[in-house]
Amino acid sequence: MKPVFDRLTRLFDAAAEAGTPRRVWWRDDDAVREGPRLDAITALAAREAAPLTLAVIPNHAEPSIVRHCERHGHVMVQHGIAHENRERSGKSAELGGARDVADLVAACRAARTRLEGSPAFWPVMVPPWNRMREDLAAPLAQAGYLGLSRYGGDVVPAPLKRVDTHIDPIAWRGDRSLAGEDALLAMVEMAAAQSGPIGLLTHHAVHTEAVDGFVARFVSLVSAHPGALWSDARALWPRTDGEAR
């Protein structure tokens, strides 16, 4: 993985030289309960002073995940409704075209009630499989969501501010261990081309040792480099004056 981290280091070196550190944020998906694997990335985040955002599946969330976020200072965002595929054909999606917009918004709001009583919760939607029908963004904004996070794109300011992730180290179409060097280099180049924050995407429940090793090295580099600056989800999606909680 030396070429991957060499490229990241050059990216951050250039940002430091320009006096404009690249913002980086960390989103971990599919959180539902506390356990040893979540404890491991929580320990890494604490050790490296890296803010961690957990995308929690509300309809499967156990009380332990809420307590964990509150205890460790993680931001908790909403990962769909139940992470169930509703499409009859094509790619998997829960917030896709199989249901109309009004039904989706109602289901999202109902699921949100399982999380929003916690001070750790922040009203940002992370669609399962990173897919969502485009005409859902405006109604979600009207329903009180501050933002949206998917994969691979640049910042989209409106109608629902979108801040994506870019570096997902799991080889989902392979052995589900660490992605290959070429694939990871392509992710770094994609992230470098964006104007917004670079997003690290993890899935703690299915990490292999190799994936954990990559994540630890990435997080350590960001924390140590003067050309990189961690961003908290609340800073990426700030409330404006008068917005309802």
pLDDT of residue 188: 98
DSSP string, the chain: -HHHHHHHHHHHHHHHHHT-PEEEEEEEEEE-S--HHHHHHHHHHHHTT---EEEE-GGG--HHHHHHHHHHT-EEEE--SS-----SSSS--SBSTTS-HHHHHHHHHHHHTTTTTSTTEEEEE--GGG-B-GGGHHHHHHTT--EE--BS---B-SSSEE--B-B--B-TTTTSSBPPHHHHHHHHHHHHH-SS-EEEEE-GGG--HHHHHHHHHHHHHHHH-TTEEE--HHHHSPPPTT---
What mean pLDDT is reported for the chain? 96
- How many alpha carbons lie under 13 Å from residue 232 in its C-beta half-sphere? 12
Length of the chain: 245
Cβ atoms of 200 and 167 within 8 Å: the answer is yes
Q: Above 70 in pLDDT, residue 50?
A: yes
* Distance, CA of 39 to CA of 54 (rounded, Å): 12
Confidence band of 241 (pLDDT split at 50, 70, 90): low
Residue 119 CB partners (closer than 8 Å, separation 6+): 70
What's the average model confidence in pLDDT over 93-109? 96
Domains (ranges, CATH) in the chain? 2-234 (3.20.20.370)
Q: What does the block give as tokens for 21?
A: 């550190």
The fraction of the chain above a pLDDT of 90, given in percent, is: 96
Q: What does the block give as tokens for 197?
A: 């924050």
Q: Above 60 in pLDDT, residue 99?
A: yes
Burial letters for 5-35: b for 16+ Cβ neighbours within 10 Å, e otherwise? eeebeebbeebeeeeebbbbbbbbbbbbebe
Residue 171 CB partners (closer than 8 Å, separation 6+): 177, 178, 179, 180, 183
Cβ atoms of 137 and 148 within 8 Å: the answer is yes
Query: Which pTM was predicted?
Result: 0.96
Confidence band of 243 (pLDDT split at 50, 70, 90): low
What's the average model confidence in pLDDT over 183-205? 97
- Chain segment 149-187, per-residue pLDDT in tens: 999 999 999 999 999 999 999 999 999 999 999 999 999
CA nearest neighbour of 228 among 51, 22, 26 = 22
